A = this chain, B = another copy of it.
Amino acid sequence: MKILFEKADILFGDNLDVIFNGYLGIQDDKIIYVGEDKPTQKYDVVKDMSDKLLMPGLFNSHSHAAMTLLRGVGTGFPLQEWLFDNVIPIEDKLVPNDIRVGNQLAIMEMISTGTVSFSDMYVYPVEQIKAVMDAKMKINICRPILAFTPEDFPEKNERFIESLWLYDNYHNHDDGRIRIDLGIHAEYTSTEDSVRAYAVEAKKRNANIHVHVSETIKEHNECKEKYGKTPTKWLKDLGILETQSQFAHGVCLEDEDLNIIKEKGITIVHNPSSNMKLGSGFARISKMHDMGINVSLGTDGAASNNNLNMFEEMHLAAIIHKGNQNDPTILPSKTVIKMATVNGARMQGRLDTGVIKTGFKADIIAIDFNKPHLIPNINYLDSIIYSAQGSDVCMTMIDGFIVYEDGKFKTIDEEQTYNEVREITERLYEVYDGKKR
């Protein structure tokens, strides 16, 4: 199957240059042509992209997708009360099929706002994989270990076993769209033995590690009190940072932590909505970027956001640090777009996507610029960051397959998903028709 987009403006290559009124050719799952001149090859389908910008699809680098079912739960509470008093009591009611449905809902939101791939950490991963495969989306998924007491570990712990089983059975599944990471929920939900044992398994597999690190000052300082070192140093000393790691949040990282992160090639996943909403604070993203640390962007779960819209995260990442540091020159638009695209792809170990260039996977979105808030458009990069909305995405293509176009979902039954979500939320809350009264 060969698809040609014509009359398209295209954000192409590593430098995010713009081709105006150009052509983008796709064969099966790959980009085979990008240029200003009409290609001589014959294509099966030709699509007119007038007034539209083609750009790389977005990578949501940290989420708990099925928490769409907990959208808005605990709004207004600090992180610890939000988690333990509000979120966990509802999560205790979740059954495996809920996770499949919650992911379908999340995927609808993500693909309709330009996300092509996400990194996720939650429960019942096989149900999640089902939803992702049905939708023809991409995911890096981990089943994070938890160990509150030393007795929990290592060999007999179910989550530990499930986590490795998942890796050994699903890594690089579904033409590589499904990738498995190893995951540690956080320092404050782990023991030293558990992390040490996990490090051995991670190294054997050369597996990525996804972990929440220094999200709040409380967590960060309690670790220092308990162990005499920061969470980053603690993880390093336990030998878990020897493969590619990803730290979600990193709000309270110290200079010494950043040096370790730089040295170990760790990615920081910035989650601005969640960090603001929960009152966690400002990760030092501009400094990290200047140090050459790979920074990507995530939405976190819908209970702490309360949506999964990467255009919001790009906008926030671009503006909140300018406000906080009183410096409008930091984190220019191009830097932030890279965080949401190629930096996320690189973090996921997907070196064949995140950029529009020939030979790369066709993970592409189209933005409709025929909108009052996108005219005039004197700079595409600034328009994407400061003016565009997730709802301006009019086409999402993953591995060359169009999964969303002009408001229609091609791989998900919208009404059925809504009905299933309403049934589940009637059980989880005392609600009627998906609304709490």
Contact = CB atoms under 8 A, between A and B. Distances in A.
Interface of A: 9, 20, 68-69, 71-73, 75-79, 82, 105, 108-109, 112-113, 217, 273, 275-282, 302, 305-309, 312, 315-316, 318-320, 322-329, 332-333, 370, 372-373, 375-380, 382-383, 386-387, 389-392, 414, 417-418, 421-422, 425, 429, 431, 434-437
A222 to B, nearest CB: 16
Contact of A112 (B71, B273, B372, B422): B372
A375 B75 contact: no
Contacts of A390: 389
Given A78-B327, A377-B436, 15 more contacts: A68-B372, A71-B375, A75-B382, A277-B319, A278-B328, A279-B323, A279-B326, A279-B327, A281-B326, A316-B319, A372-B417, A376-B431, A376-B435, A377-B434, A378-B435
30 contacts: A9-B435, A20-B437, A69-B376, A71-B377, A72-B377, A72-B383, A76-B328, A76-B332, A76-B382, A82-B328, A108-B372, A273-B319, A277-B386, A278-B322, A279-B325, A281-B323, A302-B387, A307-B387, A308-B373, A309-B373, A316-B319, A320-B320, A320-B323, A324-B324, A375-B434, A376-B422, A376-B429, A376-B435, A378-B425, A389-B390
B421 A376 contact: yes
A242 to B, nearest CB: 33
A79 to B, nearest CB: 8
A385 to B, nearest CB: 8
A332 B277 CA distance: 11
A370 B376 CA distance: 31
B109 A429 contact: no
A383 B431 CA distance: 15
A282 B324 CA distance: 8
Q: Across chains A and B, which 8 residue pairs bring their CB atoms closest together, nearest first?
A: A276-B323, A391-B391, A276-B319, A279-B328, A108-B372, A306-B386, A378-B436, A109-B372
Nearest to A326: B279
A52 to B, nearest CB: 12
Given A306-B383, A306-B387, A373-B307, A75 B333 contact: yes
Nearest to A325: B279
Nearest to A417: B372
A136 to B, nearest CB: 17
A429 to B, nearest CB: 6
Contacts of A73: 378
Nearest to A111: B372
Given A323-B282, A324-B324, A391-B391, A71 B376 contact: yes
A404 to B, nearest CB: 11
Nearest to A75: B382
A370 to B, nearest CB: 7
A386 B305 contact: yes
A322 B279 contact: yes
A386 B72 contact: yes
Nearest to A217: B326
B375 A418 contact: yes
Contacts of A425: 376, 378
Contacts of A418: 370, 375
